[in-house]
Structure 1
């Protein structure tokens, strides 16, 4: 069959692509990537990652245009080498992991991201002073980001552990993140192709979802000033909680 015919897949994939496109436009950019966790509820997690990658690459192009020239060159020099190393490690691991293990990792990453976000947003939390730049920390968290990005397109949380405490201005933070994942995602095309994740079925399914990318990005731009980040976060967090819990359960069930 050339494309996925399961209606449950499309019922989850369409809102997942739109939500991710909205965040890629800079609106509620800390909400994370919900595509792989949601798609993995009905198809194998590696296949979900393969379908999502071309869509993320398309979103990266739109995001780069919006944030062109505003990135921190100094921070990119710190985090990018580790990110590329993480891609290589992730590619080596990816080929040996069974679907159940990938589902467990995707679900765990989603739940850890959710728990961290809720903890940092707790009432009464006092923000610490800005952290100082560190090559060692940047290289390590860049590597972890490249690794988790390769396995599940979930590199945002590890990178945020390093970048957010630096308190870069919003434009520099967004642009630096966009450039990092733009490079990482396009590099990932090589191992994904070699691992068979860019199959004809996956590519055709991605192409069917591709028109939603500019729609999601435009929705993100339109929502600026019309919807609070808090409301959007709640929607995404509920979806991540449900999908993450289900994936952890399925992954543990498949491994035990």
Structure 2
């Protein structure tokens, strides 16, 4: 196992990341959202600062790709084209500019937006303007990392059943993380140094997705959306609290 661990990581950190990769993929497959942020939080504690967003992105690319393939027959294809185009714009802009907006502002605004989606009627532009959703979320993901809840707001506005929600969200996040990883490669991040460990993290995530799919199959659509809303609210409150704490 030592050969698989990058020199910047301890054995404990590597094991913790593998466990959270499994748990995060299980949570997202079973309940629709939440695993990406859980994994990002672990990355923020255990990874070197420069590696946090790139490594999180490539592992989430693998996890979402596996989840999209497992649920592919439920995928709403019409949600993809405009979102992909918007994501290309957002990634290109995000990768080429220095963002002066403080991190606490981004956290707080995304958190408030999620609460709005859960407790108010989802804004019509979320379902009608996937290009805008793709552009904004992809721009944010270059700096914030886990924008799954933002994209989940768009998917939630489509009013899909639990399997279609999971499949469509996974496909959209695969696109977004894929573009982000490509941009970080262009910007010079050395993914090759982490390749074997990344493969292990993706494998752990695939196992978590498979177990989560079994749990999802035993749920009702009503139960799924209730749990999804609870998770979204908890994530939103955590983001807002993190933003307030950083500001203070």
1:164 matched to which residue of 2?
156
The yes-or-no answer on 1:219 pairing with 2:211 is yes
1:128–1:10: structure 2 CA closer, same or farther, 3 Å change rule?
same
1:180 aligns with 2:172: yes
Give the aligned CA root-mean-square deviation in angstroms: 4.1
Identify the residue that residue 36 of structure 2 maps to in structure 1: 33
Structure 2: segments with no counterpart, 5+ residues: none
Flag the 1:5–1:171 CA change in 2: closer, same or farther, 3 A: closer
Displacement of 1:174 in angstroms is 2.6
Cα deviation code 1:48-76 (max 9, x no counterpart): 12222332222233212222243333332
Query: Which deviations, in whole Å up to 9, do the C-alpha atoms of 1:151-202 show, x marking residues without a partner?
Result: 3432323323333223233333332222222222223332111223234433
Instruction: State which drifts further: 192-201 or 138-147.
Output: 192-201
Q: Displaced runs of 4+ in structure 1, greater than 4 A? A: 107-121, 129-135, 228-231
Q: CA deviation at 1:39?
A: 1.1
User: Where in structure 2 are the equivalents of 1:1-256 lying within 5 Å?
Assistant: 2-6=6-10, 9-10=13-14, 12-25=16-29, 27-31=30-34, 33-34=36-37, 35-93=39-97, 96=98, 105=103, 128=121, 131=124, 135=128, 137-224=129-216, 225=218, 230=227, 237=234, 241=238, 245=242, 249=246
What is the aligned length?
237
Contact 1:32 1:154 in 2 (8 A): no
Structure 1 residues 204, 23: closer, same or farther in 2, change over 3 A? same
- Seen in structure 2, the aligned counterparts of structure 1 residues 108 and 17 have a Cα distance that, compared at 3 Å, is farther
**2:126–2:133 contact (8 Å) kept in structure 1:** no
From the superposition, tell whether residues 185 and 131 of structure 1 become closer, same or farther in structure 2 (CA, over 3 Å): same
Distance 1:210 1:132, change over 3 A: closer
Shift of 1:28: 1.0
- Using the TM superposition, give the Cα deviation of residue 85 of structure 1 relative to its aligned residue in structure 2, in angstroms: 1.0
**Using a 3 Å threshold, how does the CA distance of structure 1 residues 119 and 207 change in structure 2: closer, same or farther?**
same
CA contact (8 A) 1:24 1:59 kept: no
The alpha carbon displacement at 1:143 in A equals 0.5
Gaps of 5+ in 1: none
Task: Give the C-alpha shift of residue 246 in structure 1.
Answer: 9.3
- Output the CA distance in 2 between the equivalents of 1:160 and 1:148: 14
More deviation, 211-220/160-169: 160-169
CA distance in 2, matches of 1:16, 1:110: 22
Kept in 2: contact 1:8–1:42 (CA 8 A):
no
Distance 1:207 1:119 in 2: 37
